């Protein structure tokens, strides 16, 4: 079955197994052993603020749960750039979602792939709570450098890790670097339960 924008749908079994495989290979980078639920995907993507023709970035797309929704919203207009560090996931994304520009590299190198343009919206599937402080800072610096003034940054976090030192640090860094930070209620229909940050650049 194929949607109007060329995105191929398939049973969840394959993507789920590939997601688990990526998690087992590199749990600190992947951050979760199960792909995001439909409820979390919509909580992340639906409030994203971009217009036809805009440049949108996804960091850590995994098996493409957010990516498919983003492509549907963009409807072939604009540029969607997805950066993924997992070899397993990047191969699957390129097979399933050929209309998305996929880059096999770390998110901290995002500015060099966008330059001289900037993104209106950056969506993150990265495991910020698993990162060392220096890594958090490098990744966030890349996001800030790549966003247009007033641009939107969207990231999710897991409820069980809310009070982890790294998670609390990430929340502080968002509040320090963005003009406005909004957090959704906990999305219980996800494994693990999660919530979403929507942030707007100064």
pLDDT, tens only, 83-118: 999 998 899 999 999 889 999 999 999 999 998 999
Q: Is residue 62 part of a domain?
A: yes
Structural domains in the chain (count): 1
Q: Is residue 192 part of a domain?
A: yes
Average pLDDT estimate for 194-199 = 98
Q: Is residue 51 part of a domain?
A: yes
**Quick one: pLDDT at residue 11?**
39
Sheet of strand 55-59: strand arrangement: 101-104, 79-84, 55-59, 119-124, 147-158, 194-201, 178-183
- Measuring CA to CA, which residue among 31, 162, 142, 132 is closest to residue 86? 31
pLDDT in tens, 25-81: 554 444 454 588 999 999 999 999 999 899 999 999 988 999 999 999 999 899 999
Q: Is residue 7 part of a domain?
A: no
Q: How many whole angstroms separate alpha carbon 162 and alpha carbon 116? A: 36
Q: Does position 6 have pLDDT exceeding 90, yes or no?
A: no
Q: Per mean pLDDT, which range of 25-39, 151-165, 181-195 is the poorest? A: 25-39
Average pLDDT estimate for 174-193 = 96
Beta bridge partners of 182: 198
Q: How many whole angstroms separate alpha carbon 162 and alpha carbon 158? A: 7
**Quick one: pLDDT at residue 1?**
40
> Which structural domain, as residue segments, surrounds residue 169?
13-201
Q: Is residue 176 part of a domain?
A: yes
Q: How many whole angstroms separate alpha carbon 74 and alpha carbon 71? A: 5
Q: Is residue 33 part of a domain?
A: yes
Q: Does position 17 have pLDDT exceeding 50, yes or no?
A: yes
> Phi, psi at residue 71, to the nearest 5°?
-65, -40
For 127-147, give one letter per residue: b (16+ CB within 10 A) or e: bbbbbeeebbeebbebbbebb
CB 156 within 8 A of CB 197: yes
Average pLDDT estimate for 14-25 = 50
Average pLDDT, the chain: 87
Other beta carbons within 10 angstroms of residue 14's beta carbon come to 12
pTM of model > 0.95: no
Region for 62 from its dihedrals, namely left if φ exceeds 0, alpha if ψ lies in -120 to 50, beta otherwise: left
Q: Is residue 8 part of a domain?
A: no
Q: How many whole angstroms separate alpha carbon 119 and alpha carbon 144? A: 10
CATH number at 55 reads 3.40.50.150
Q: Is residue 30 part of a domain?
A: yes
């Amino acid at each position: 079955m194929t949607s109007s924008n060329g995105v191929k749908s398939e049973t969840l079994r394959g993507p789920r197994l590939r997601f688990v495989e990526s998690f087992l290979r590199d749990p600190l980078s992947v951050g979760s052993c199960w792909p995001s639920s439909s409820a979390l995907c919509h909580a992340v993507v639906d409030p994203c603020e971009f217009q036809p023709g805009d440049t949108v970035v996804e960091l850590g797309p995994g098996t493409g749960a957010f990516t498919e929704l983003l492509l549907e919203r963009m409807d072939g207009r604009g540029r969607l750039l997805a950066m993924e560090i997992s070899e397993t996931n990047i191969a699957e994304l390129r097979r399933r979602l050929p209309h998305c520009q996929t880059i096999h590299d770390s998110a901290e190198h995002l500015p060099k792939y966008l330059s001289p343009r900037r993104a209106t919206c950056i969506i993150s599937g990265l495991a910020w709570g698993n990162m060392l402080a220096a890594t958090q800072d490098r990744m966030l610096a890349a996001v800030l450098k790549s966003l247009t003034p007033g641009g939107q940054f969207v990231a999710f976090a897991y409820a069980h890790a809310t009070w982890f030192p790294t998670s609390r640090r990430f929340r502080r860094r968002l509040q320090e670097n963005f003009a406005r930070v909004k957090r959704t209620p906990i999305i219980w229909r996800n494994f693990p339960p999660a919530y979403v940050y929507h942030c707007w650049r100064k």
